[in-house]
Structure 1
Amino acid sequence: MTILITAQGFAANDKVALSFDNVSYVFATLPCDSQGKCAGKAEMPTPGVQGEHTLHGVGTRPNESAQATMIFMPFVPPLQGAPGGRLTYYGSSFAANETVSIYWGTEKGTAEGSATANSSGGISFQITAPVNAAVGNYPLTIVRSQQKPTTIKTYYRVPPSDVTLSTGGILSGQSVTITAEYFRAGEQVAFSWNANGGQTLATVTANSAGRIRYTLAPPSAPKGSYTITAAGAASGLKAKTSLNIGPGLRFEPDAGVNPGGSFTVNGGGFSSNESLQVYFQDPANGSITVTTDGNGAFSAKLTAPKQYDATTSYYVYAVNATKTEETNVQVRFVPPGISRTDIYGGGEYFPYGSPVIISGQGFLSGESVDIYWNYQQASQIKVIVVQAASDGTFGITITPPSAPGSVSNDTYTTIAAVGETSQLQAVNSQTYVSTGMSLSPDHGPVGTSVTVTGGNFAANAQITIVLYTGTMTPGGPGGNAPSPSDGTVPVTTTTDSTGAFSVTFAMPALTTTTGLVSVYAEGAGSSFASGGFTYTTA
């Protein structure tokens, strides 16, 4: 995982060595400017066990250092595979040596076995997908014992079956390599085409990952474009692509290219060792000269324009000097997009104060992208500025601000990513947020000064802090909050225009058998959030 790290107060043009916990292991170096402000991206080292870890930054001058606290939480990245495929998952930041149970679906789903973390909190396990799994995302639930959170979510994604060719075109008699993916593991896959009235080209067995790579020479056929179909005998899954007999081009990557990004055009079916002009949309944009190999093929890398019109179709052309051989292929631009998940890979709802991972695509290579919360609302906030990678993607973890809620525990807000140079926009208006709160500190003796911070409540609404020592349904979605008359009310306050609040009070002496006091922030209607305070001796 790549993280953005900033620091200040160091010497001008210094270099800050970064390490976690053990300052002898430096995993990255942060450059500083002439003002002593330092910033850069760093690849996270292998995470440690769950809990608080200290990020150390040490400059080259004496007594130059700074620290920040990071909380490592268990995480198992999702993977994708074929129906019936077997994948190995690797997770991190579990408790040292803890044993977990894995289920396909929810914790009441199909048991897939157990796994034990190592002393560094790393864990691995294997999952075999059902052979009849259709295209989609299938949740996996990792159930923990006597740990919080009690469950961790990840996914087994089954993508649509796909078939690609090593080139977009061949001359009659030439070979082409076919790659098929995400068919049922171990099944027979038949390859056919619609030339010559329809012909079967080959039948091949998919490997344990549902993948096939096979080279064949199609029978002789008239010049033209033909459809190649891959069909799974057991699953019924199908995928199609096209092959030109005669000159043809293939565009990569399959997903498309971002503005200013690079893409590859693979050509085939031309005459051997001939010179071609390759250009984007119009020769006036400039062209490059390529020479085909002995099989009449070539590969060329081009750069997409920094701006494009989404309503216009764009093409790359390849033509020989006499214009007797020419063809084109459409250039696909990745549309701007934004997605969000929690740190466990879920995307159902986001309580206030919980980290959110925001990912984007389709932006200009290297441009700065503004991330907004409550986009185009009165409470709109520019949360952070991130830099798109060369492929137009970005990923950042934020703790979002409050979004004005309602009289219930949840509401929707809008997030957006806006390219500062391209002005491209990606908007998600269905981000489901819920009320949340935190206590600082969450333990101490009687009289401890406690600050409660919360958000996603209704704007400008009264918040009543209720201390409760009884037993009831835990707070959260679907839970209940006690009536103020059933507990102790040490303080009330009012939310601001974003639905956020912060209030401080002295923890009174309450009778509790466990030493734990449930703390509720109760807002308008049925909205509330909850936390806990534990009494300790002075």
Structure 2
Amino acid sequence: MTSDGGGGFSFDLTPPGTESKGNHTVTATDSSGHNASDTYGIVPQVNVSVSPASGQAGDSFSVTGSGFHGESTITVTLDGAHDGTPTADADGAFTYTLNTDAGIADGTHTVGASDDEGSNASDTFTIGSGGETCPEVLDDGGFEASTGDTSNPYWNASDNARFFNTPGGGHGSSDYVALLGYNDTPSTGEVWQSVSVSADAVSGTLSFWYQDWGDNAFALDVDITDGGGSILVDLPDLTGGDSAWQQYNHTFTSGEMTNIAGQSVRLRFRIRDISEIEDVAVDDVSWRICSGSTPPEQRQVSVMPASGPNGTTFTITGTNFTASAVVTLTVDGAFVKTTTADGSGAFSTTYTPISLDVGQHTLVANDGDGQAQTTFEISSPQTGGPFRVTLAWTDYPGSPTAGKALVNDLDLEIVAPDGTHYYGNQDLYDNGGDPYGCRRGGPWDQCNNVEGVIVPQATYGTYTVIVHGYNVPQGPQPFAVVASGDNLDEYTGPPPEYDNFIYLPLVLRQ
């Protein structure tokens, strides 16, 4: 660059993106050897992220940071309140576990991080995303409220179940419950608590810790029952065990939630079928039930087969939709049909497109509370050899003086997979004219008791064969239909919904 008349200059310096953090020196030298220098600092980009981005009250979140001053003390805040002080490593990175309280409000929360030098950054996470709340529905899952061997204000115990307070004896504290076997005889000791399940419950989880006190010969039933003890949800049972505490986890299916939603139920632990002295301890029981609309990401819809030409009957199935809801199906935004989910939120229906463009299409299933989507493909039509259908019937004897010999007038119609209609003897009249006046109203034959349709290069798919009884003064009129072509399979689905048509099984010839 060139200095001005007074020896001054100005220059914009843009450090490269790869330049390391810290202080750097800039030196300027003129042609006479005069020079001067100054320094500038590179400050690293400070970042904080919270994972996962959403969760429920009581969940733990991982907070990670980078770009802070090396080995500095990091102050982590939750919504402005101090939460913890991890230490950054030599590169200025840190990891911190943030544990939320069960009472934290639904909505968006902010996690901030700052170091001693003033570097700071923040990120957010959401509690109660997807319209769900998942509170604990059990009281005293750690059995701390027990006041005696068989006394607890929330849990009910039989004679062979005992509440204990032994220093270091429980999993999370000194308190726990034990289901006991006595006198080398089978035991049915049990402990249970009543829980009211909301009508809009859609999912849930159960976890607890257990420990075997004997020689692994126990069997522990874990059930959800009604007030009379009848099993509503038979959860996986425990057999055998270990002298160390072990954790049990179960995620309820939509069908299991349907069985208990809107009811007062019992969570029951029961020891059974013990032929010797055997004891099992249970502690830290946690049962969460999520209420609200099913989160959209849980809804699933699929189309089978994934690809086929127009005329293919696709089967559409969905799961985890709102129970008993009307589900609206659209393809590329255009309405197709509605169907109804069953009590578990599942549905199955069919769809037969006839005029979609070749290529990929998007199907959306929406139950009013949320939706799911998938894609399927319309492939180019495949063609085979000719497809022939013939209709024949033995006509009633006509009058010698009648102007037309045919008495009972039947008509043959074929609907191709792409929606094209073919009519009996149509090719005969299209190619040879109609010298005898046998056409009626355009495509229909009114002279012959044998009618045929030939599709020269038939597209693969489902063809609908229709026999019309146009005029049958002398009925009933038996008839026969025969079809021939490549790879014919007899149609086994429901008949098309046309009025006043007669359907008989086809004779198939390949």
Same fold by TM-score, threshold 0.5 exceeded? Answer: no
Of Structure 1 and Structure 2, which has the larger fraction of its residues in strand? 1
Higher relative contact order (CA 8 A, sep 6+): 2
